[in-house]
């Protein structure tokens, strides 16, 4: 069994035009300490690769519009813009069996809109690999339908209370917008989430719904009900 603590490793990049910064990027991702076994080393490599991939993405896709915005500002004598992008993480559950977390990027577009993108990772620490959401449920069980029905009920509760506004609330339509990798575990339950803009306006950010383990028809979560908070 892999036993380690997590600390953050950070990276920063800056891109300039004529010596003037037009785009900066910061990254903070988890690092297992010590990286003494195969699982810890695999997790370390995974997030180091994610860091490098994100910085390449910034250079390929975010830098050209930032350069164009800088040149446009020069031509019109407008304030010179400098855009920032970030990649951060949050651990949602860690115990001897699982490490669950999400990583999230934040980017400011040239149009002035903030774009958030989230990715969930749940690691089986015994096997040393991420766990597909389907592995938590019996084969051929209607688990997607179950999760979407819960999300639809939560949406209705929020809208009745006036705490949120959504553009999609029917389970069938929610299912078409749901990606099965978009989940993570918490002490309270299984959390699923949807991409920004997929089911709600931008003010709602990334919609997330936590289904208590007691509501899930899966023996895989029984230990959360008997052992208490991990």
pLDDT in tens, 119-128: 999 999 999 9
* pLDDT > 60? residue 29: yes
Please give the pLDDT value at position 226. 57
Which runs of E-coded beta strand occur in 95-194?
98-108, 114-124, 129-130, 183-185, 189-193
SS3 196: coil
Per the rule left: phi > 0, alpha: psi between -120 and 50, beta: everything else, 24 is beta
- 132: Cα separation from own chain's centroid: 15
- Tokens of residue 74, six digits: 């020069």
Residue 222 or 108, more confident: 108
Strand order through the sheet with 183-185: 183-185, 189-193, 208-212
**Which residues are paired to 13 by β-bridges?**
25
Does 17 score more than 90 pLDDT? yes
What is the CATH number assigned to the segment(s) 5-130?
A: 3.30.565.40
Q: Give the least confident one: 35-49, 105-119, 151-165, 192-206.
A: 105-119
Where residue 38 falls among pLDDT bands split at 50, 70, 90? Answer: very high
Q: What angle do CA 155, 158, 159 make, to 5 degrees?
A: 85
Mean pLDDT of 102-128: 92
Q: pLDDT of 187-227, one tens digit each?
A: 999 999 999 999 999 999 999 999 999 888 777 787 776 55
- Give residue 1's pLDDT: 60
- Hey, where are the domains in the chain? 5-130, 133-226
What average pLDDT score do residues 156-176 get? Answer: 93
Q: Model-level pTM greater than 0.85?
A: yes
| pLDDT value of residue 230 | 40
Under the banding of pLDDT at 50, 70 and 90, the label for residue 169 is confident
The CATH homologous superfamily to which domain 133-226 belongs is Heat-shock cognate protein, ATPase (3.90.640.20)
Where is average pLDDT lowest: 2-6, 16-20, 159-163? Answer: 2-6
Beta bridge partners of 86: 26, 106
pLDDT-derived band at 113, boundaries 50, 70, 90: confident
- The per-residue pLDDT of the chain, averaged, comes to 92
Which pLDDT does position 136 carry in this prediction? 93
Residue partners of 151: CB distance under 8 A and separation at least 6: 171, 174, 192, 209
Residues 25-41 have a mean pLDDT of 94
Q: What is the mean pLDDT of residues 75-102?
A: 95
pLDDT at 139: 87
Rg (CA), the chain: 20
């Amino acid at each position: 069994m892999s036993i380690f603590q997590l600390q953050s490793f950070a990276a920063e990049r800056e891109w300039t035009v004529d010596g003037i910064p037009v785009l900066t990027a910061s990254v903070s991702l988890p690092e297992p300490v010590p990286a003494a076994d195969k699982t810890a080393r695999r997790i370390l490599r995974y997030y180091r690769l994610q860091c490098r991939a994100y910085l390449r993405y910034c250079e390929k896709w975010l830098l050209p519009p930032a350069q164009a915005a800088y040149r446009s500002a020069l031509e019109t004598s407008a304030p010179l813009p400098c855009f920032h992008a970030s990649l951060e993480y949050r651990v949602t559950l860690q115990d001897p069996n699982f490490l669950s977390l999400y990583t999230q990027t934040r980017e400011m577009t040239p149009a002035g809109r903030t774009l958030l993108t989230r990715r969930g990772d749940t690691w089986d620490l015994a096997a040393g690999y991420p766990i597909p959401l389907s592995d938590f449920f019996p084969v051929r069980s209607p688990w997607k339908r179950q999760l979407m029905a819960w999300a639809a009920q939560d949406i209705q509760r929020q809208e009745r209370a006036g705490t949120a506004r959504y553009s999609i609330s029917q389970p069938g339509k929610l299912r078409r917008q749901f990606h099965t990798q978009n989940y993570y575990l918490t002490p309270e339950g299984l959390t699923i989430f949807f991409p920004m803009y997929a089911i709600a306006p931008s003010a709602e950010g990334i919609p997330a719904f936590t289904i208590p383990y007691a509501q899930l028809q899966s023996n895989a979560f029984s230990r959360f009900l008997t052992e208490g908070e991990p």
